[in-house]
Structure 1
Amino acid sequence: MQQFNVQGMTCGHCVRAVTQAITAQDPAAEVQIDLAAGKVETNTQLPPERIIQLIAEEGYSATPA
């Protein structure tokens, strides 16, 4: 399980955007987001650098947790 701290997520749209960005690249990925805590957890096979890039492409800042 990979974990990331994400800044800028404020609503359900943010959750959907990040989830869809990851699952578009890895359809088998499971994504769990704690909006209040700004945390994203995923079991994707994608490397952490790619996850951070995908989240950044959606307009959010991410760092490994």
Structure 2
Amino acid sequence: MYVYEVKNMTCGGCVNGVKKAVLTVDPNAQVEVDLATKKVTVESTHPSTEFVDALTTAQYDARTAH
């Protein structure tokens, strides 16, 4: 499981965009988005970097949460 912080996620449209970006990498991924905390949780067997790259390409400021 991976957890990312997406600082520029501000609305429901962003939530949908984030989910879409994650699912382009792995259509079978389990994605949970918490807009209030700006955290995205992804359960997948794909490498974490692929999701960061996809989110960045979709113009979201995504970083691995600590």
Kindly report structure 1 stretches of 4+ aligned residues shifted beyond 4 Å: none
SS in 2 for 1:28: coil
SS in 2 for 1:41: strand
The match for 2:7 is: 7
Q: Distance in 2 between matches of 1:25 and 1:55?
A: 10
Structure 2 counterparts to residues 23-62 of structure 1, below 5 A:
23-62=23-62
C-alpha distance after superposition, 1:1-53 (max 9, x if no partner): 11011110011111111101111221110100111111000102221111111
Q: Kindly report the root-mean-square deviation, in angstroms, between the aligned alpha carbons of the 2 structures.
A: 0.9
Total equivalences in the alignment:
65
Aligned AA (2:55)? I
Gaps of 5+ in 2: none
Identity fraction in percent? 35
Give the TM-score, by structure 2 length.
0.89
